[in-house]
């Protein structure tokens, strides 16, 4: 299990002019310090901390800071606090550090207020108190806007966006890059403000123009994806390069990706490798994993299993091993040796045994799919359950599905509902959809159309096409919601544009009948065609009928025959019956009584009344003829 490394930023007041003093100046200050004058004593301490340190210099600086602190000077109190926090010239003592920070902070020294906040946030020398940390961070932020970033981005000190936004706006108005970039991030994500990619790109651009690497990276991402700006790989490459040359690892990785994919630049594996290495050397696991994949497949470099495993191993140490990454297991299993696959599994097992929920989920996926190991549903259920009990939504959903299918565990619909509900409440759309289905079918829970529609609505809002389709059916039939053709048509369209054939077919039918939308046979044909091209038999039949009758399209018996044939070949009785009629009449094809009777017979044995009638009557007619 990876250890959390807590990073502290202690502000030590250092004056640039004093740091540039000559050795002669330092000797003069030493004389005045010995005479007990406060101001030179402080300067002496600062100069010593600016030089190459030794234990004796730390001690002498500490003496000067203590004289200043005892005299009530806030800067001396703060720097004495820093010395105790870092153990410079004195035994490390956070409690003593907190005392001196507090004295300086109460005098309004901004660095001391911030430093005191870090101690409260992390419980060092004081009882941990996020409220106290927030109070001191806020005081510092009120004086110096650059401290706003620490206030808002601390993972354990909660501040709402309504309170944070004015700070960021003030920073941005003063052309501070942290504020500009943060407003860009908020506008891109829609956190606390209206999501607006154009506004996000504007703020990123302002910060990027000032040379801020993270903003340059963010602006490059906008150009690469076409969010808020016209998609432009050349511009993306330009901004990624600017950030990458500053050493920003994610930009180095993305620049490598663009060279690897040939986006905005001719494909160049050597350049890709160069930038991947720069990012990987900084510990970016995506780049380390990319190098592993490149070496395992020999892309732009000689294939080298040893190098591949080396980079996979580094990626695993950076977090890949505790993230579901089936590609890594697949690569290890295919490109290296079983020993290396076993090593990857050991990394997952080590993290999982230490309670890392994502590693437990990864093992569940590995055993469920048989990735690098024999498929083992019992093991999969075991690891999914461990992760699910820790609150991992995807694990809860997958565990529910395993139980529903009776894989590795006794089928139990009530338990399925239990896990789907937990996952759905955490916002996982597939669990919301599956829970809705359970309520609709009455499996594991009493049938309840109202609750089914409630969860379909949740999943539909996440863009799940099947949920949009089922919700549309609910509105069409009035099941669990007030009947509304208008709502049904809207939802069918949302699912249809995502390519769901059933929704395309139903939307075509809505246009044909004029339900929820104005009657429009041309639109009906359009949606029938999309569904028919996906192989939906009902749509193939309806499209054939539209061609036969000339509705929404010019009458064309050849096209009608084509679509009837496709439906008939799939065993659709209506298609078989109409195809029989085409052969009988010789429409779109040469008349062929044998084929006509064949298709009538196939439809008739399925119970199609029209086919049974025509089969009987036309047999008689053929006999009479």
- Per-residue pLDDT tens for 17-30? 222 222 233 333 33
Do residues 395 and 353 both lie within one domain?
no
User: 3-class DSSP state for residue 387?
Assistant: helix
Shared domain for 584 and 617, answered yes or no, is yes
Q: Does 401 reside within a domain?
A: yes
Is position 282 within any domain? no
Distance CA 212, CA 362 (A): 37
pLDDT tens profile 346-377: 767 877 887 878 778 889 998 998 887 899 99
Nearest to 358 by CA among 383, 382, 376, 327: 383
What is the CATH number for 423?
1.25.40.10
Write down the mean pLDDT value for the chain.
Answer: 82
For residue 294, how many C-alpha atoms fall within 13 Å in the half-sphere facing its CB? 25
**Does the residue 245 lie in any domain?**
no
Q: Of 91-100, 166-175, 232-241, 426-435, which gets the smallest average pLDDT?
A: 166-175
In a domain, 173, yes or no: no
Res 541: pLDDT: 97
Residue 175 to residue 167: CA distance in whole angstroms:
13
Instruction: Report yes or no: 118 and 125 within 8 Å, Cβ to Cβ.
Output: no
Residues 322-340: pLDDT tens digits?
Answer: 343 444 444 444 433 454 4
* SS3 assignment for 333-347: HHHCCHHHHHHHHHH
588 lies in some domain: yes
Residue 424 has pLDDT above 90, yes or no: yes
Q: Based on the structure, what is the number of domains in the chain? A: 3
Q: Which of 439, 462, 485 is the last residue of a domain?
A: 462
243 in a structural domain: no
- Distant-in-sequence, close-in-space partners of 57: CB < 8 Å, separation ≥ 6: 48, 49, 51
Task: Judge if 345 and 333 occupy the same domain.
Answer: yes
Determine the Cα–Cα distance for residues 438 and 400; give it in Å rounded to an integer.
11
Residue at 616 is within a domain: yes
Is the model's pLDDT at 378 over the cut of 60? yes
Q: What tokens were used for 467?
A: 């949920």
- Of 347, 341, 299, the residue nearest 319 (C-alpha): 347
Cα–Cα dist 40/49, whole Å: 14
- Contacts of residue 410, defined as CB under 8 A and 6 or more positions apart, other chains included, come to none
Q: Cα–Cα distances in Å, from 235 out to 188, 215, 222, 239, 567?
A: 19, 14, 10, 6, 49
304, 385, 427, 471, 530 from 435: Cα distances, Å: 47, 18, 12, 13, 30
Question: DSSP string spanning 8-49?
Answer: --------HHHHT--HHHHHHHHHHHHTT-HHHHHHHHHHHH
Q: Please, which residues have CB within 8 angstroms of residue 106's CB and are 6 or more apart in sequence?
A: none
Residue that terminates a domain, selected from 390, 408, 427: 390
Q: Is this model's pTM higher than 0.85 or not?
A: no
Pair of tokens at residue 500:
């769901």
Q: Choose the most confident range, by mean pLDDT, from 299-303, 357-361, 552-556.
A: 552-556
pLDDT at 135: 79
pLDDT in tens, 393-410: 999 999 999 999 999 999
Domain extent, residue 348, equals 319-390
Which pLDDT tens digit goes with each residue over 487-519? 999 999 999 999 999 999 999 999 999 999 999
Out of 422, 440, 462, pick the residue that ends a domain: 462
Confidence (pLDDT) at 28: 32
Q: How confident is the model at residue 149 (pLDDT cuts 50, 70, 90)?
A: low
Q: For helices 449-461 and 429-441, what crossing angle results, to 10°?
A: 160
SS3 426: coil
- 257 vs 237, 246, 430, CA distance in Å? 10, 18, 31
Whether 353 maps to a domain, the answer reads yes
Mention every residue, 6+ apart, whose C-beta is less than 8 A from residue 36. 67
Enter the DSSP assignment of 391.
Answer: T
């Amino acid at each position: 299990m990876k250890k959390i490394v807590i990073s502290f930023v202690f502000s030590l007041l250092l004056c640039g002019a004093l740091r540039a003093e000559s050795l002669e100046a330092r000797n003069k200050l030493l004389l005045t310090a010995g005479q007990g004058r406060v101001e030179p004593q402080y300067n002496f301490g600062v100069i010593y901390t600016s030089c190459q340190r030794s234990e004796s210099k730390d001690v002498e600086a500490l003496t000067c800071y203590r004289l200043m602190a005892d005299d009530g000077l806030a800067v001396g109190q703060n720097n004495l606090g820093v010395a105790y926090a870092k153990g410079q010239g004195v035994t490390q003592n956070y409690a003593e550090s907190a005392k001196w920070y507090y004295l300086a902070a109460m005098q309004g020294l901004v660095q001391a207020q911030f430093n005191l906040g870090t101690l409260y946030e992390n419980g060092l020398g004081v009882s941990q108190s996020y409220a106290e940390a927030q109070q001191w961070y806020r005081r510092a932020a009120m004086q110096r806007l650059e401290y706003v970033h620490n206030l808002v981005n601390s993972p354990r000190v909660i501040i709402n966006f309504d309170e944070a936004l004015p700070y960021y706006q003030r920073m941005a108005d003063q052309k501070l890059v942290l504020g500009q970039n943060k407003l860009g991030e908020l506008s891109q994500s829609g956190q606390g403000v209206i999501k607006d990619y154009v506004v996000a790109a504007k703020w990123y651009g302002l910060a990027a123009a000032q040379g801020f690497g993270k903003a340059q990276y963010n602006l490059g991402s906008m150009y690469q994806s076409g969010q808020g700006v016209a998609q432009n790989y050349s511009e993306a490459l330009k901004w990624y390069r600017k950030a990458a040359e500053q050493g920003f690892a994610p930009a180095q990785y993305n620049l490598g990706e663009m060279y690897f994919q040939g986006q905005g630049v001719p494909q160049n594996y050597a350049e890709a490798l160069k930038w991947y290495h720069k990012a990987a050397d900084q510990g970016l696991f995506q780049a380390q994993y990319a190098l592993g994949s490149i070496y395992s497949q020999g892309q732009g470099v000689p294939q080298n299993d040893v190098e591949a495993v080396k980079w996979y191993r580094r990626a695993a140490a950076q977090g890949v091993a505790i993230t579901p990454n089936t590609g890594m297991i697949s690569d290890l299993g295919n490109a290296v040796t079983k020993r290396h696959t076993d090593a990857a599994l050991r990394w997952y097992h080590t993290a999982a045994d230490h309670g890392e929920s994502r590693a437990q989920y990864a093992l569940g996926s590995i055993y469920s799919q048989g990735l690098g190991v024999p498929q083992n549903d019992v093991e999969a259920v075991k690891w999914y359950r461990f992760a699910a009990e820790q609150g991992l939504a995807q694990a809860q959903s997958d565990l529910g599905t395993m139980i529903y299918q009776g894989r590795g565990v006794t089928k139990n619909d009530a338990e399925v509902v239990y896990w789907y509900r937990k996952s759905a409440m955490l916002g996982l759309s597939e669990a919301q959809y599956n829970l809705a289905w359970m309520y609709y079918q009455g499996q594991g829970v009493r049938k309840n159309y109202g609750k089914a529609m409630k969860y379909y609505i949740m999943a539909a809002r996440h863009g799940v096409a099947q949920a949009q389709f089922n919700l549309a059916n609910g509105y069409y039939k009035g099941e669990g919601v007030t009947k509304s053709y208008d709502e049904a048509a809207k939802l069918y369209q949302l699912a249809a544009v995502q390519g769901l054939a059933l929704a395309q077919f139903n939307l075509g039918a809505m246009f044909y009948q004029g339900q929820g939308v104005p009657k429009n046979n041309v639109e009906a044909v359009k949606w029938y065609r999309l569904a028919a091209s996906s192989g939906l038999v009902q749509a193939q039949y309806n499209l054939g009928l539209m061609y036969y009758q000339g509705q929404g399209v010019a009458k064309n018996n050849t096209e009608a025959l084509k679509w009837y044939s496709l439906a008939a070949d799939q065993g659709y009785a209506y298609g078989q019956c109409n195809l029989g009629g085409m052969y009988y009449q010789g429409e779109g094809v040469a008349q062929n009584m044998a084929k006509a009777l064949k298709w009538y017979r196939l439809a008739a044995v399925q119970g199609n009344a029209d086919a049974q009638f025509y089969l009987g009557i036309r047999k008689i007619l053929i006999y009479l003829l």
